[in-house]
Amino acid sequence: MEKKTVIFISKLEQSLELFINQGHELGVSEDFHLEGRTVNQLAYNPISEDSLVVLSSKFILPTIEAYLPQKQKYIIAKRTVNYKNIRNMLDIPRGIKVLLVSDLQKRANETVSLLKSSGIDLDFYPYYPGGTYSEDIQIAITPGESKFVPPSIQKVIDIGSRVIDLSTWIEIYAHFKHEGRDSRKLTARYLQSIVYITEQLRDEVQKANLLRKHLETIVDRIEDAVLAIDDEDVIRLTNHKALQLLHLQGKDLLNHRTANSIPSHFYQIIHEVPYEKEEIVHWDNQTYFFRKTHIIIEGKNMGYLILFRKASEINKLEHDYRRKMLNKGLIAKYTFNDLSGISTSFQKVTDIAKKIARSNSTVLLLGETGTGKELLAQAIHNGSPRQSGPFVGANFAAISETLLESELFGYEEGAFTGAKKGGHIGLFEQAHNGTIFLDEIGDVSHSIQNRLLRVLQEREIMKVGGNHVIPIDIRVIAATNKDLECMIEEGSFRADLYYRLNILPIFIPPLRDRKEDVYLLTNVFIKKICNRLQRPSFVFSEEARKEMELYHWPGNIRELENIIEYLAHVVDKVVYPQDLLFKRSKRIVEESGETRTLIFEAIKQSYERKGFLEEIRVILQIIHNAKITVGRNYIIRSLQGEGWNITEEQLRYRMKLLNQDQLIKVSRGRKGSSLSDKGVEFLSYLMDKDRALVET
């Protein structure tokens, strides 16, 4: 049988294309010839009488009537939304204003009713060129007319031109009295496209359910109590913690009105507390930290979120956190208030340091051993905007060369034999968002100097065995008692590293140059130490005080503090010159056993704190065994023979401390060292301790 012709007429070419395409998809083109004419084409492309004309809308009828043959049959197409494009509209939350944009007012209105009758229940505002609209609308939906969308709209969803409704396709078949079989096939195909959409929607619903379950699990894990309430005061989300604190365990609050579901006093709090502010509220004999925030979606207020937690829990958390940081040594204990000193030179130091603290630049602290460089570094950190971040100390004289690299930069799991599982976070990474204190920077080896330079330049590190860089935000404070400029001349310190460090230098004068501070510091330490030992205070006789002022204090404030500690153990009420250790020529072995133990224990602990007591023990042993005066090279070689790898710089530092503690004697002209009597005593004290440990 010869195929009949169906001619679609529309103003727009794209609508004709859409209809013919739809006809192909539905299989209509297997039964009829499908053609299209725009209104303008009718004049030179006339219509043959035996065809059926389908008009895209009744509004074009007056324009085209003249071109239709007299008895021409025509149908006005019923149009519907293209279900394939409906999916995009489902993401728009309910209650949001949406502009429905079309070319004419009536078409905009028509599309609104069409969408509403298809179950898309949004807050539609029809719009057409020349119409008005409210400026707060941010989303527009248009059936293929996006060119008419006002420019202020942020999001446009084009659902495409409207397609032809099933009833019109059936009418086409009915017109030609086509067999019913074909129209059933047509109906089946038409429904298929809708079923496909329904399937898609079902998937979406399942996905949404799954997502909700995920969300609920996550919210349950949050330590805070959570309540999400919509703009109609209905509870939309909550967690175990909230139910527990509100004494509503086992109750289902979801989708219930807040007013009817939660305790009335708490309900009152929710409505009284201002938005977006951390508040402290009292309820149920407890103090809570409470926060209420708006839930804003696509610019519209959809309700509010409440987070609350018992203040006691937060205090405990903060306390635990600080304790952990303290245990790890990541907190700076001292502030500028802990720095005592009235001398003009010391006042100048603190004035400059306070100003410098506020900046983020690298600081270089210069001064003899024991002048308070570490104390000042901590005070600078605590006076800086980074005060709540970590303060990490790295002592280059204390960490052995072999460990230094991995201590500073960390290592990846499996970087070397014996590497910890999960790797190790280095000191630089631990200092992220805080301050790193590079103590004894003058003792650092050449290879580490190179790596430090890179870190300071790039502000990023690479772990040992790692293959990616980790950016770090740190403030650097370095300290040394060495003359770095002299070391540069000798070639033992890199000039470029020095210039990177020497940005804000602060020189702390030695104690002998600020005698006014000796008396003040003496009293500060008497108070502190007597307090700690819970013993009555003591005073200095006039003569002893003079001796203190005359003394040259090679060990500076640390030495002064040690002397007061010693006196606190041995004097009663008044200190006389003969009580002052530095004044006495008596050998330590003449001290009473009790005092000796106290002094040795204090020395032992000071090495332990520095982390190299074991190395000190081996060094003393090597010198002792040699029985003659030995030089540093000999000691280094012997240490290596016993598996200890330390640099010459590190050995020099340790020898200096041993000398200060009078455990070794350095022969004139620095030819070599031997153990002092005190050193021999100290070594046997350490060995006794070791034995006691083994026996227990």
Ligand X SMILES: Nc1ncnc2c1ncn2[C@@H]1O[C@H](COP(=O)(O)OP(=O)(O)OP(=O)(O)O)[C@@H](O)[C@H]1O
Q: Which residues bind ligand X (CB under 6 A)?
A: 339-341, 367, 369-375, 439, 481, 524, 557-558, 561
CA 105, 21, 194, 297 torsion: positive or negative? Answer: negative
For ligand X, give the closer residue by CB, 183 or 378: 378
CB of 603 to ligand X, least distance (A): 14
**Residue-wise DSSP of 568-628:** HHH-SSEE-GGG-GGG--S-GGGS-HHHHHHHHHHHHHHHHHHT-HHHHHHHHHHHHHH-S
Classify 672 as helix, strand or coil.
coil
CB of 251 to ligand X, least distance (A): 57
Distance from first CA to last CA of the chain, Å, rounded? 112
For tokens 């580490």, what's the residue? 448
For residue 379, give Cα distances in angstroms to 159, 373, 384, 387, 412.
Answer: 64, 10, 9, 9, 33
In this structure, what DSSP letter does residue 433 have? T
Residue with the shortest CB distance to ligand X: 372
For ligand X, give the closer residue by CB, 224 or 559: 559
For ligand X, give the closer residue by CB, 326 or 469: 326
Are residues 566 and 381 in contact, defined by beta-carbon separation less than 8 angstroms?
no
For ligand X, give the closer residue by CB, 125 or 334: 334
CB of 544 to ligand X, least distance (A): 20
CB of 365 to ligand X, least distance (A): 8
Are residues 324 and 316 in contact, defined by beta-carbon separation less than 8 angstroms?
no
Q: Which of 31, 35, 34 lies closest to 1, judged by CA? A: 31
CB of 653 to ligand X, least distance (A): 9
Q: How many other β-carbons are positioned within 10 Å of the β-carbon of residue 54?
A: 24
Classify 24 as helix, strand or coil.
helix
CB of 480 to ligand X, least distance (A): 8
CB of 341 to ligand X, least distance (A): 5
Q: What is the 3-state secondary structure (H, E, C) of 132-151?
A: CCCCCCCEEEECCCHHHCCC
CA pair distance 312, 318, nearest whole angstrom: 10
Q: How many other β-carbons are positioned within 10 Å of the β-carbon of residue 561?
A: 18
CA pair distance 696, 686, nearest whole angstrom: 16
For ligand X, give the closer residue by CB, 380 or 464: 380
Q: Which of 540, 523, 528, 478 lies closest to 505, judged by CA? A: 478
For ligand X, give the closer residue by CB, 373 or 654: 373
CA pair distance 183, 173, nearest whole angstrom: 7
CB of 379 to ligand X, least distance (A): 9
Report residue 276 as tokens. 């977006």
Report residue 532 as tokens. 């700690």
- List, in sequence order, the alpha helices (H) in 222-280: 240-245, 258-261, 264-272
Q: Which of 110, 101, 112, 111 lies closest to 153, judged by CA? A: 101
In this structure, what DSSP letter does residue 630 have? B
For ligand X, give the closer residue by CB, 131 or 611: 611
For ligand X, give the closer residue by CB, 345 or 449: 345
CB of 662 to ligand X, least distance (A): 17
For ligand X, give the closer residue by CB, 253 or 365: 365
CB of 374 to ligand X, least distance (A): 3
Q: Which helix (H) or strand (E) holds 470?
A: strand 469-471
CB of 371 to ligand X, least distance (A): 4
CA pair distance 492, 124, nearest whole angstrom: 78
In this structure, what DSSP letter does residue 291 have? E
CB of 407 to ligand X, least distance (A): 18
For ligand X, give the closer residue by CB, 448 or 479: 479
**Rg over CA atoms, the chain:** 43
CB of 556 to ligand X, least distance (A): 7
Q: Which of 457, 446, 398, 406 lies closest to 428, judged by CA? A: 406
Residue 507: what are its φ and ψ, rounded to 5°?
A: -100, 125
CB of 687 to ligand X, least distance (A): 27
In this structure, what DSSP letter does residue 222 have? -
CA pair distance 85, 160, nearest whole angstrom: 7
For tokens 């059926």, what's the residue? 52
Are residues 309 and 289 in contact, defined by beta-carbon separation less than 8 angstroms?
yes
For ligand X, give the closer residue by CB, 77 or 398: 398
For ligand X, give the closer residue by CB, 375 or 394: 375
For ligand X, give the closer residue by CB, 292 or 373: 373
For ligand X, give the closer residue by CB, 367 or 423: 367
